[in-house]
């Protein structure tokens, strides 16, 4: 077993497989294929996971921004109406 770390994830090479692991739990598994870099496949999968996480973070930021704007508009409307 050979283990490398990439962007916080472990890339582990076994006899017949490559695995992406986080906290000793398997996230993705790739069978070894001659002429194909299993390590590169793992890195691509980790990059895909990171991109998806970023999309979710950006969506949450947009929701919070929209809620803050709405709250501010409600406060302005209440202050103008009183």
Q: What is the DSSP code (8-state) at residue 1?
A: -
Q: What is the pTM of this model?
A: 0.71
> For 5-55, how does the pLDDT look when each residue is reduced to its tens digit (9 = 90+)?
999 999 999 999 999 999 989 999 999 999 989 999 999 999 999 999 999
Residue 73 burial class via C-beta count within 10 angstroms: exposed 0-12, middle 13-18, buried 19 and up: exposed
How many Å apart are CA 14 and CA 46, to the nearest integer? 18
Measure Cα distances from 50 to 5, 12, 35, 46, 65 in Å.
14, 18, 26, 6, 22
């Amino acid at each position: 077993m050979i283990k490398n770390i990439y962007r916080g994830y472990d890339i582990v090479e076994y006899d017949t497989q490559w695995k992406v692991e986080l906290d000793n739990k398997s996230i993705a598994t790739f069978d070894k294929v001659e002429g194909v870099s299993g390590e590169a496949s793992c890195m691509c999968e980790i990059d895909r996971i990171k991109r998806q996480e970023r999309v979710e973070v950006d969506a949450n930021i947009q929701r919070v921004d929209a809620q803050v704007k709405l709250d501010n508009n409600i406060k302005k409307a209440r202050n103008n109406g009183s």
